[in-house]
């Protein structure tokens, strides 16, 4: 029996990946339910049609079942998993700081996603290309440097990891965000590189953690693709050879 069941789309990294990375780094036993049973297993629970458990229903995946508890919202799942997985420093101030950083990562993820879906998530990218171009230009010029500058500044104020000497789930999520942004905006990220040396070091440090390295090399790690949050649409990136 797995301790945790993750319910998430089986063909994308998406927001589920932030949870997968935490479970993998901790060596937790978990079942990635839809990867085993197919995505149809998620349908009854989308938009709260049914609850997986007796508590508050989830609006959208990812959600995690842990015994009788069913938890949705990526940052909320990580808030829950941090202490048992040993991926957050002890004490309320540190837990709240981790949650604050994770919610800021969630904001960045939404803005990165909205570069290819600025008008509506229910529309195809091809139906909103002019708006995407405008949105992506602003994202790359102003929002991306602002978010990454913020995380770089927080890293500068501490030791090896964003909350101090030990890795937390926030560091794993920052790894994922830097990887995703590098996939979607390689030119913009190359231009920003000298302004975010600590974030890039952190990305490598996380990638080299033994369990993460094994996970990344395994078939459990799905490749980035153009159904996902981070999409490789060269026209949305800064100009330059790719």
Where do contacts with ligand GSH occur on this chain (CB under 6 A)? 14-15, 60-62, 73-74, 106
Among the residues of the chain, which ranges form H helices? Answer: 16-26, 33-37, 74-85, 92-114, 129-138, 144-156, 169-184, 186-192, 197-207, 210-217
Q: Which is nearer to ligand GSH, 108 or 178 (CB)?
A: 108
Among the residues of 115-208, which ranges form H helices? Answer: 129-138, 144-156, 169-184, 186-192, 197-207
What contacts 37, CB < 8 A, 6 or more positions away? none
Token couple for 2 = 């797995």
SS3 content of the chain, % helix, strand, coil (to 5): 60, 5, 35
CB of 165: closest distance to ligand GSH in angstroms? 28
Cβ distance 167 to 211 under 8 Å?
no
Q: Which is nearer to ligand GSH, 66 or 200 (CB)?
A: 66
CB of 204: closest distance to ligand GSH in angstroms? 26
Instruction: Classify residue 241 by burial, with Cβ atoms within 10 Å: 0-12, 13-18, 19+.
Output: exposed
CB of 236: closest distance to ligand GSH in angstroms? 19
CB of 87: closest distance to ligand GSH in angstroms? 17
Q: Which is nearer to ligand GSH, 6 or 144 (CB)?
A: 6
List 66's β-bridge partners, or say none: 69
CB of 57: closest distance to ligand GSH in angstroms? 13
CB of 62: closest distance to ligand GSH in angstroms? 6
What contacts 72, CB < 8 A, 6 or more positions away? 58, 59, 60, 61, 62, 63, 64
Q: Which is nearer to ligand GSH, 73 or 128 (CB)?
A: 73
């Amino acid at each position: 029996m797995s301790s945790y069941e993750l319910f998430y789309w089986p063909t994308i990294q998406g927001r589920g990946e932030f949870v997968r990375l935490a479970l993998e780094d901790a060596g937790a036993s978990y079942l990635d339910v839809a990867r085993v049973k197919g995505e149809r297993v998620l349908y009854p629970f989308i938009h709260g049609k049914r609850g997986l458990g007796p508590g508050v229903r989830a609006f959208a995946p990812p959600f995690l079942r842990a015994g009788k508890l069913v938890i949705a919202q990526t940052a909320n799942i990580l808030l829950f998993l941090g202490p048992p997985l040993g991926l957050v420093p002890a004490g309320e101030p540190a837990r709240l700081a981790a949650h604050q950083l994770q919610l800021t990562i969630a904001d960045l993820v939404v803005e990165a996603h909205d570069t290819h879906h600025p008008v509506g998530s229910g529309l195809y990218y091809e139906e909103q290309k002019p708006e995407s171009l405008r949105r992506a230009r602003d994202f790359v010029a102003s929002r991306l440097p602002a978010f990454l500058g913020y995380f770089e500044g927080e890293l500068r104020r501490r030791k090896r990891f964003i909350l101090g000497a030990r890795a937390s789930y926030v560091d794993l999520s920052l790894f994922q965000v830097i990887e995703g942004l590098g996939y979607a905006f390689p030119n913009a990220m190359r231009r920003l590189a000298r302004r975010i040396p600590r974030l890039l070091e952190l990305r490598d440090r996380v990638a080299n953690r033994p369990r993460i390295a094994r996970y990344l090399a395994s078939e459990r790690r799905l490749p980035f693709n153009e159904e996902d949050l981070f999409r490789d649409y060269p026209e949305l990136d800064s100009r330059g050879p790719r």
